Amino acid sequence: MITLGITFNGERRSYLNIAPGWKRPAWAPIQRDILKIPNRPGGYHQRTTVDVREITIPIWINATNLQKIKEDLAAWLITDKAAELIFDDEPDRVYYALVDGSFDPDEIVTLGQGTITFICPDPYKYAKTEKVADAVISNGTALTTVSNAGTVETQPVIEIQIDKSYTNIDITNGEEINRIGRVVNLEDYAVDKEETVLNDKLTTITGWAKTEGRVGIDGYATGNMKSDGYRFIAQDFGTTQDAWHGPFYKKSLGQTLTDFRMEAMVEILNTSEDKFGKVEVYLLDENNLSVCMLTIKDVDSSGKRNYATARTGGGDAGYRDIVSTSGEKESTYWNFYGILRVERVGTRWTAYVAKVDKTTGKHTARTFKEFNDVEQQFMRKPTQIGVYIAQYGTRPVPTLRADDVRVYKINQLTKNQIPYIVKQGDVVTFDHKSKDILVNGESRLDLKAFGGEYFPLNRGDNVIVTSPALPTKVTWREKFR
């Protein structure tokens, strides 16, 4: 006799078999709301509600120690959120389920017999693999034809490759439209809201000046920096101090900035809890005083905690931490690779921290904070940038890297100036499943146009038009009742 089992949360158990003769419901429970009117036959259908899907499975367990099996089942099946559930007799469909209730098997010698109940808050089942369709660009039009073979509508993820600067990007299914940015009308004109002042991938120390001593940074400037061809790392940390010390190299921006943004990709890889170190990036004024600073550091000897900080000011002007966080949990920023950002426009400062997935580029564990310097305490104007990689005393250090640094001049716009929102090389993602819009992996819901719709893919054929006509990839998973 062929025995059937389940795969849940990517795992199986050889001792668990589904009892013969069991059948799953064909669809999740549905409820029809009918409006009944006195003295009229029947009623009017108002809406249909799809309820939570419940799957009760009769099982046999073949094991010599059922008490230990119960513990193993609990460790396997009890999850904090819905996980993939796949049945052996339906291997191309996925349910997203949570175990519900308890499990109290009847024990017959070395066999246990009972039922396990799963509930699916999302009542639909899904194709196991995603499908992908690419746009066909012809005569200035980008059309993506999508065939949804599921039995209900599903939500697409639409990725667009940008070839030059644009003020808006639109996608439409012919009836609904989603958009980021603004359209340039007859009386408007497009301008650059920001200009790139520095975009350094830190592949060489050429152009960077070594600095030594107490130079307005949080520590001593000692030792030497080098590039491994991909990023800055410390060649050595120099003369030992019972304080922060390490190489500090700086570079001119070539101009004085008033409104600006600085961002850095940095990395701190922790192999144990007894290592300490930090990577900092500074903007300095013409007198070598700190305008602002970004840092990722490990100073915690009792846990897996890295701290990310964006600070304005420094020196005799005092300072203020716009953000200083280790993330939502203790280990959120452990083994951190991500982006640190600080921006000033007028008296308004903003700071942003996020981990970045090296494969997808998507930002996670995001933190955004702002501060209005109404007393204008922190108004120094940057003319230089500096990178500092430091050790504390003689303590062992984790892997510390500065991957790249970027500085932008931010321009003030007039009423009829429409800013470019994307540029060549950017990737825009309309994620209609999670109702998010990403630019280079970063959530940019601030760019979403009022009235934009996260439209679905209907059953059957769908045509999505991208404007301007740009290379477009649509990804979706078919959904079934």
Residue 146 has what pLDDT?
96
Q: What is the pLDDT of residue 468?
A: 96
Tell me what the mean pLDDT of segment 258-279 comes to. 92
- Which of the two residues, 106 and 383, has the higher pLDDT score? 383
pLDDT tens per residue, range 430-469: 999 999 999 999 999 999 999 999 999 999 999 999 999 9
Q: Are 422 and 169 in contact (CB under 8 A)?
A: yes
pLDDT above 60 for 345: yes
Q: In sequence order, what DSSP letters do the residues of 134-181 get, joined into one string?
A: E-EEETTEEEEEEEE-SSB-B--EEEEE--S-BSEEEEE-SS-EEEEE
Average pLDDT for 343-367: 95
Alpha-carbon gap, residue 389 to 394, rounded angstroms: 14
Across the range 413-428, mean pLDDT stands at 93
> pLDDT at position 252, please?
97
pLDDT at 106: 57
- What's the pLDDT at 21? 74
Flag whether pLDDT at 102 surpasses 80.
no
Helix (H, G, I), strand (E, B) or coil at 146: strand
Give dist(CA 344, CA 199) in Å, integer: 18
How far apart are the C-alpha atoms of 28 and 54, rounded to whole Å? Answer: 8
Given this model, what pLDDT does residue 462 score? 96
> What strand order describes the sheet that includes 136-138?
136-138, 141-148, 460-467, 168-172, 177-181
pLDDT band with cut points at 50, 70 and 90 for residue 166 = very high
**pLDDT value at residue 107:** 53
Residue 303 predicted with pLDDT over 80: no
Percent pLDDT > 90 in the chain is 74
Average pLDDT, the chain: 92
Quick one: DSSP state of residue 73? H
Query: What pLDDT shows up at residue 108?
Result: 47
With bands split at pLDDT 50, 70 and 90, how would you rate the model's confidence at 22? confident
pLDDT of 323 higher than 60: yes
| pLDDT band, residue 109 (cuts 50/70/90) | very low
pLDDT of residue 198: 97
| Residue 169 vs residue 29, higher pLDDT | 169
**For the segment 360-381, what is each residue's pLDDT rounded down to a tens digit?**
999 999 999 999 999 999 999 9
pLDDT at 104: 66
What's the average model confidence in pLDDT over 191-215? Answer: 94
- Tell the burial category of 360 from Cβ atoms under 10 Å away from its Cβ (0-12, 13-18, 19+): exposed
Asked if residue 417 has pLDDT above 60, the reply is yes
